[in-house]
Chain A
Amino acid sequence: MAARPAALTRPFVVLAAMTLAMHVISRTTGSGWLVVVVSGLLAVLGLSAVLPALALARMGVEVQAPTDATAGTAVAITITARVRTSPGKLRLDAPASGWVFLQGPSTGSVNAIPARRGVFEHVDVEVRSAAPFGLVWWRRRMRVRLARPFGVGPAPLDGSATPPPLTEGGADALMRVWLSPELVRGLRDYTPGDPRRMVSWVATARHGRLMVKELEEAAAPVQLTLVVDLRGDDDSAEVAASQAAGLATTALRAGAEVVLATAEVGGPRLGAVASALQVSRRLARATADGAPAAPSTGCSVYVVRAAGG
């Protein structure tokens, strides 16, 4: 995008007004020195209005972003600015960052916070300059293509606080996963080697001898299919994606096998995820362009749906 004027500063307006006043005074008083001063002020005003545009026109920016990020969390993005000695300032528009000072060719990292999830193949950069006098600001917006796509996953909402209602199958097993990972089957006498934390003091007081808790054997891994339907307004889709991320990561931590059913640009997709990173990447690619993949039968299914869909 070409450079455009952004703002006239108050000093510019004051200087322009004083130039006009001086011109009038010089005409009425016949003072030659004031004509010299007016010429100088006109030169300053003219250069301050033109030179920033020239500085921006010759500026180039390269951006390197990490492969993965999370919405709402700061991520370091490397910027390389090809600029001559004229000073200016730069910031990222999407994802948003603060202003950084540019002077001469330079490179460095800025902390940007992606607002929404998605897969980004370019980054919007805004550069401003008012060099050399700081009287008139010009700006230029650039869309910089990334060498590799930058995936932003949703910020997981904590799914462990309240067990979700299920649409079909496996209710007991899933409740066990979320509510009580450690169930007591019975009590028995203490034998040397039993962990101290397994001692039941209530039972010990009742029976008069050391009693320990006996737990249920570890259940077979639970398989959970999360159907993520993001068709709806954008804000609801973000919330639904965050809920799905929270549920998936909680289930993974509890030892469940998680399958995500989503819709992507290339069509519906059904696939297992084994880590929080994979959950983030799958949900970064999920879109609201179509219906998510249908889940397999014979497994626990939970549907996360965006409002308005």
Chain B
Amino acid sequence: MRLLALLKRANANPPPEESKALRLSVFVAVMAAALGLVSQGVAAAGLGPAVMVGIPAGYVCSHLARHRPGYLRKAIVGLLAAAALAHFMLAAAGVSRGSITELRIPLAELFLIVQVLHSFDLPARRDLLFSLLSSLALVLVGGVLSTSPRYGPYLAVWATAGVVSLVLAHRSQLAVMPQLVPGAASRSAQRQHGLWRAARPVAGVTALTLVTAAATFLVVPTVGSPRLLGAPARLTRGAVVPSPKACRTPA
């Protein structure tokens, strides 16, 4: 019983996140990253639909159950994640030596499965931010696998939703503190413009970030030719023997 109490305390949820806007923006970012990766054709049969249905269902479930401790849910998610990892290890064991690039597909599938499972356990802001970070890993794998401009729209949606998520998460973090009463002018403006008044700073930051990113892209060094880390699969040219009698099979 003591061990159980220790486990419960270690897995106790921090205060639940109440901001629906934050949950929605993180969901959009995660879905954009996941669908971008699925669009590269890396998902096994059934994994694509599981992503498209599982992640939205998981986010809804997490929001509705955010006030419950959810120990059973955490245990199930943990077991399924362990099973996914075991499946990946089996797949990795079948990969030929010296060719780690063949691990990309099983790794991408593992990331997708973990993302779907994790969607069901997102009660707090910390969990949402971790999910956002995981979407960065999905973008990493998708970016490596992608060879066409069709990946661009997914990346644009993910980037925009990601920036909005960071801004909303910071505001949510501060909003738990006591607040000084807004001044009369500020209250009047809030009454008049409501949602736009609240969204304008977020939109401004997002636009500034995208412009800065574009400017940074102009100065970041371009990539050269790919440098593979594995050994070459075959020799580039045959060995030249100077004399027909130089090599002999020993008697």
Contacts and interface: CB of A to CB of B under 8 A. Distances in A.
Contact of B225 (A18, A22, A30, A90): A30
Contacts of B155: 33, 36-37
B143 A33 contact: yes
Given A35-B222, A43-B213, A28 B170 contact: no
Contacts of A102: 179-180
Interface string A85-106: 1111110000000111111111
Contacts of B175: 101
A29 interface: yes
Most buried by B among A32, A33, A79: A33
A15 B182 CA distance: 34
Contact of B177 (A22, A28, A79, A99): A99
Given A27-B227, A32-B223, A134-B166, A47 B144 contact: no
Contact of A104 (B136, B186, B213): B186
Contacts of A107: 180-181, 183
A135 to B, nearest CB: 8
Contacts of A42: 213, 216, 220
A37 B143 contact: yes
Contacts of B200: 85
A89 B173 CA distance: 11
Interface in B209-237: 209-210, 212-217, 220, 222-229
A14 B181 CA distance: 35
B167 interface: yes
B178 A100 contact: yes
A99 B140 CA distance: 38
B212 A47 contact: yes
A134 B170 contact: yes
Contacts of A26: 143, 223
A199 B179 CA distance: 60
Interface stretch (A125-133, A143-151, A255-263): A125-133
Contacts of A60: none
Contact of A33 (B146, B177, B178): B146
B226 A29 contact: yes
Interface string B152-191: 1001000100010011011101110111111101100000
Given A101-B175, A106-B183, A107-B180, A43 B223 contact: no
Given A43-B209, A43-B212, A105 B183 contact: yes
A123 B201 CA distance: 31
B208 interface: yes
B247 to A, nearest CB: 38
Interface in A135-174: 135
Given A102-B180, A104-B182, A106-B186, A134 B173 contact: yes
Counting contact residues on chain A (CB < 8 A from B), the size range is: 35 or more
Contacts of A98: 177-178
A106 B223 contact: no
A133 B140 contact: no
B41 to A, nearest CB: 16
Contacts of A11: 129, 133
A31 B143 contact: yes
A105 B185 contact: yes
Contacts of A293: none
A81 interface: yes
A33 B159 CA distance: 12
A27 B223 contact: yes
A42 B210 CA distance: 11
Nearest to B202: A132
Interface string A103-118: 1111110100000000
Given A101-B174, A134-B166, A28 B227 contact: yes
Contact of B216 (A43, A85, A100, A135): A43
Interface string A50-89: 0000000000000000000000000000010100011111
Contact of B144 (A18, A29, A101, A134): A29
B139 interface: yes
Contact of A100 (B177, B217, B228): B177
Contact of A108 (B179, B205, B215): B179
B151 interface: yes
8 contacts: A14-B133, A22-B140, A33-B144, A37-B155, A39-B214, A43-B216, A87-B174, A105-B185
Which 5 pairs across A and B sit closest by C-beta, in order of nearness? A134-B170, A108-B180, A33-B143, A30-B226, A39-B217
